[in-house]
Copies of this chain bind each other. A is one copy, B any other.
């Protein structure tokens, strides 16, 4: 009935020395890494904290020293993994480049910084669990989507005005620039065993589609000086 107001556990325990601090960060990291693996493999609901603890090499109770509960663990996981990357896409220098160069940079970042790392799994988790975690969707929208969109739109709009783009489709829907990345993420987790998809090639083809390249045909394109994907 009446509960003593459960004081929210410190997200990070108070530290004393410095070795302590390092140890703490290490443990927290281990838990997050283990959680990522488990959540990615089983989804939020089906993941057992028992397994996370085992994989992280800590006791079940230890998780609760670092995270309030399963849900907080999940959300912090997404935050921790995604926060760093946000800045990369939205650098002011990009504004100076032609749209094609920007598209190539974005594709490159996706391939190397997301698809090539465990961030791939984090974003997949956002996609698969986002609808059930409004806060997560909100965080992702404001921290990632909105920022990227805000950075891209004026650049693309200007490109349209300068005649660097055939029409305003991209300026109105910057999402179209990254749609193939989404396809890659989903395909990779579901259909790769039936028909492996080379993300690099997919992204390159996407760029060809948007920015002309009249030739291309798989391997040969790799020699093209145009992109370094």
Residues of A whose CB lies within 8 Å of any CB of B are: 1-2, 4, 41-46, 51, 71, 124, 126-138, 140-142, 145-146, 166-170, 172-173, 175-176, 178-180, 182-183, 186-187, 189-191, 194-195, 197, 201-202, 205-206, 208-210, 212-218
Contacts and interface: CB of A to CB of B under 8 A. Distances in A.
Contacts of A208: 167, 169
Contacts of A168: 216-217
A205 B176 contact: yes
Contacts of A140: 190
Nearest to A160: B217
Contacts of A205: 169-170, 172-173, 176
A137 to B, nearest CB: 4
B175 A218 contact: no
B141 A190 contact: yes
B172 A201 contact: yes
A217 to B, nearest CB: 6
Contacts of A45: 43-46
Contact of A179 (B130, B180, B212): B180
B194 A175 contact: no
A189 B124 CA distance: 14
| 9 A-B pairs with the lowest CB-CB distances in the bound complex, closest first | A45-B45, A179-B179, A169-B205, A128-B128, A137-B190, A130-B190, A131-B189, A169-B209, A169-B208
Contact of A127 (B51, B127, B178, B194): B127
